[in-house]
Homo-oligomer: A and B are copies of this chain.
Amino acid sequence: MAKLTRERALWMYETMIRIRRFEERAIEVFQAGELPGFIHPYIGEEAVAAGVCAHLSGKDQITSTHRGHGHMIAKGLGFNGMMAELYARSTGYCKGKGGSLHIADQDLGALGASGIVGGGIPIAAGAALGIKLKGGKEVAVSFFGDGATNIGAFHEGINLAAAWRLPAVFVCENNRYAQSTPQSVHQSIRDIADRAKAYGIPGVIVDGMDAAAVYEVAGEAIGRARGGGGPTLIEAKTFRFWGHYLGDPGTAYGHDREAPKWKKRDPIPALGGLLRKRKWLTAKADEEILARVKGELDAAVEFARKSPPPEPADLMADIYEKAL
């Protein structure tokens, strides 16, 4: 089992802060009317992306969801390209064509977010298949929500990966709601990890507000996948602090009543506490992280604002390899 080192712990901590601050800034400029489109904030769930991606290198692959900023940052994507993408600028990761829902960078193993719930799960299985056929040691990780576990693609993708013992890890971020629909309404089980039994693979529940716990569980699953032991289904119990998307107050379906309890378990101070207990983090280092992230974010917003939008000719580019 992967022991949590100081280096990894600090990486997770900083990564979680990067996610949190990036999203807070994105929300701010969105609310100021600077961004088109929609945003689904990941705030509150940072421990999952950080705990899982702490085990991944640039050559490992991930697929993500509509709530994907956190996965992308944890996978190593930079603020400039991400912020520019939200601003729909040509310097964005998708040259302004994808937006919040579709940030991706193939060079960093970020195979992108599917805006279609569950759509990334079979794609991750396929990436794992490609890795296996090439004889690589990488893994493919798919992130998705509780709601996604009811759609056909979830079932088909995991069954395929299990039948073929592919180096894949499936991470369900169970934040208790599919949009406005509570888990108890959309399925009749309590623990989504139980669905692993349908595929003969390990299913593990983890506290998604506890980065160290996620780190441990993910390390085991990813290690097993790399070692040829096949896929694992991880269920991380977590909570989004915001509504489904910016503009949803969460009041229609009880989310607002649950939120205070979960906010007390904010994963960032929780990990910070652990780090300080282990003397891995000083107040000064903490401040430095915050300052560094803030500086980077200021620069990213500046970069995005100054970047040009796509040119009209870009409309017809990138549909096919060569223009037809």
A binding-site residues for B, Cβ under 8 Å: 150-156, 159-160, 162-163, 165, 185-190, 194-195, 197-201, 230
Contact B151 A163 (CB under 8 A): no
Docked-complex contact A197 and B194, CB < 8 angstroms: yes
Specify which of A152, A154, A162 lies most central, judged by the most chain B CB atoms within 10 Å of its CB. Answer: A152
Please give 4 more A-B residue pairs, beta carbons under 8 A apart, in addition to A155-B155, A189-B200, A195-B198: A155-B156, A159-B187, A162-B187, A188-B199
Residue in B152, B194, B199 whose beta carbon sits within 8 Å of that of A156 in the complex:
B152
Complex interface: chain B residues within 8 A of A188 (CB)? 159, 162-163, 165, 199-201, 230
Most interface-central of A154, A156, A163 (chain B CB within 10 A): A163
> Within the complex, what minimum Cβ distance (angstroms) separates A129 from chain B?
15
Complex contact A156–B163 (CB within 8 A) = no
The smallest C-beta distance from A145 to any residue of chain B, in angstroms, reads: 15
B150→A156 contact, CB < 8 A: yes
Q: List 16 A-B contacts (CB under 8 A).
A: A151-B152, A151-B155, A152-B152, A152-B156, A155-B156, A162-B187, A163-B185, A165-B188, A188-B199, A188-B230, A190-B200, A194-B198, A194-B200, A195-B197, A197-B197, A197-B198
Among A156, A160, A188, A199, the one with the most B-chain Cβ atoms within 10 Å of its Cβ is: A188
Q: Report the separation of the CA atoms of residues A217 and B187 in the bound assembly, to the nearest whole angstrom.
A: 25
A230 to B188, CA, bound (A): 11
Task: Report A38 CB to chain B, min CB distance, Å.
Answer: 26
Nearest chain-B residue to A186 (Cβ)? B163
B154, B162, B197, B200: the one contacting A155 at CB < 8 Å is B154
Q: Please measure, in the bound complex, the distance between the C-alpha atom of A190 and the C-alpha atom of B199, giving whole angstroms.
A: 10
Contact partners of A194 in chain B: CB under 8 A? 197-198, 200
Q: Are A156 and B151 in contact (CB under 8 A)?
A: yes
**Which residue of chain B is the closest to A118 with respect to CB atoms?**
B152
Tell me the bound Cα distance from A165 to B187 in angstroms.
10
List residues of chain B with CB within 8 A of the CB of A163. 185-188
Whole-angstrom distance between the alpha carbons of A154 and B159 in the complex? 12
Whether B153 contacts A159 by the Cβ 8 Å rule is no
Contacts of A156 in B (CB 8 A): 150-152, 155
Q: Which of A155, A165, A185, A189 has the most CB of B within 10 A?
A: A155
- B residues near A150, Cβ cutoff 8 Å: 155-156, 159-160
Shortest Cβ distance from A230 into chain B, in angstroms? Answer: 8
Cβ of A158 to closest chain B Cβ, rounded Å: 10
- Interfacial chain B residues near A154, Cβ < 8 Å: 155
Bound CA span A19–B187, Å: 38
Question: Which of B165, B185, B198 has a CB less than 8 Å from the CB of A198?
Answer: B198
Tell me which residues across on chain B come within 8 A of A162, comparing CB atoms.
Answer: 187-188
Q: How far is the CA of A199 from the CA of B192 in the complex (A)?
A: 9
Partner of A152, one of B153, B187, B198: B153
Complex CA–CA separation, A195 to B200 (angstroms): 10
